[in-house]
Amino acid sequence: MKNLLALMLLSGILFSCKKKTEEETTPEETTTNPTTQKQFPDTAWTMTGTGPHLIFKFKFDSTQVRLDNLGNPSTIPSGHGACSPILNQMASHYVELAQNDLTAFGAGKVLYHAPETTKGGTTAIDFVKSTVVREGVAFYAIPITPDLAGTYKWLRLSLSYQNYDIPYKANAIPGNHIGTGTVASFVGYNTYVERYKIKDNVHVPSASVGGPTVNHLQGYWGFGTYIPGYGYYPADGQAPAGSTT
């Protein structure tokens, strides 16, 4: 139990990549009405039960050391470029505590598996039932009970969604082709999403990617930016298979 309490004090393992700014934007609040169908994900986890909880929150840090797929420090190859996005929101699909390096996937203590659906055909993450949070907001919490006691070396967490700001230089975008935009990135294995928000703008998957009533493979993205003299410019697309991991 000592190990579990130590883990609780960490409030979960927290991930990259956001620089601190002097002024935070207003969170996108989600309200629900029991008589209407939910249209957007919740923006905070609703805790149940009384007593102590193990609470998970994200920590965004764009100055964090860049790591490779094995967790080792990596460098940008010669002739390549990269940027550190400013993270606005994230969502998780899966949370598991692993006892050691050799613990097989699913053989540890699985704490959370996000809701899924077959509305789009095969099984996919149901985006509207996800919990999409900003930094420091609980995305999952579970009461601490005796069955959680144990010694765990690793926290396995699978992300399903990221929302972040990036600088861009793109001839396909109107105006002077240079600016800052926001990306909604669906990084889960398969996502059913009918609509989502970028800032205060509602996006619906376009016909070019199959529309809003089909599953979208890992790497579906939406983009939005405000262009002086033009207004709001939206776009979306699908990353090539295997390019998002």
Range 20-36 average pLDDT: 42
pLDDT confidence bin for 167, thresholds 50/70/90: very high
pTM: 0.82
Average pLDDT score, the chain: 86
Q: Which two tokens stand for residue 228?
A: 């002086």
Give the pLDDT of residue 162: 97
Integer Cα distance of 86 and 183 in angstroms: 10
Query: Mind listing the pLDDT tens digit for each residue in 188-211?
Result: 999 999 999 999 999 999 999 999
- Please state the domain extents for the chain: 2-19+41-63+85-238
118-122, 149-153, 173-177, 201-205: least confident range: 173-177
SS3 147: helix
Q: Which pLDDT score, from 0 to 100, does residue 36 have?
A: 61
Extended strands (E) in the chain: 53-57, 86-98, 109-113, 116-117, 124-126, 138-143, 154-169, 178-186, 190-192, 196-198, 201-203, 215-217, 220-227, 231-238
- How far apart, in whole angstroms, are the C-alpha atoms of residue 30 and residue 44? 9
pLDDT by residue (tens digit) across 78-118? 998 888 899 999 999 999 999 999 999 999 999 999 999 99
Tell me the per-residue pLDDT of 217-236, one tens digit each, with 9 for 90 and over.
Answer: 999 999 999 999 899 999 99
End-to-end CA distance of the chain: 34
pLDDT in tens, 46-87: 998 889 999 999 999 988 888 887 789 988 889 988 888 999
pLDDT for the residue 245: 62
**Helical segments of 141-196, H only:** none
Backbone angles phi, psi at 209, to 5 degrees: -115, 15
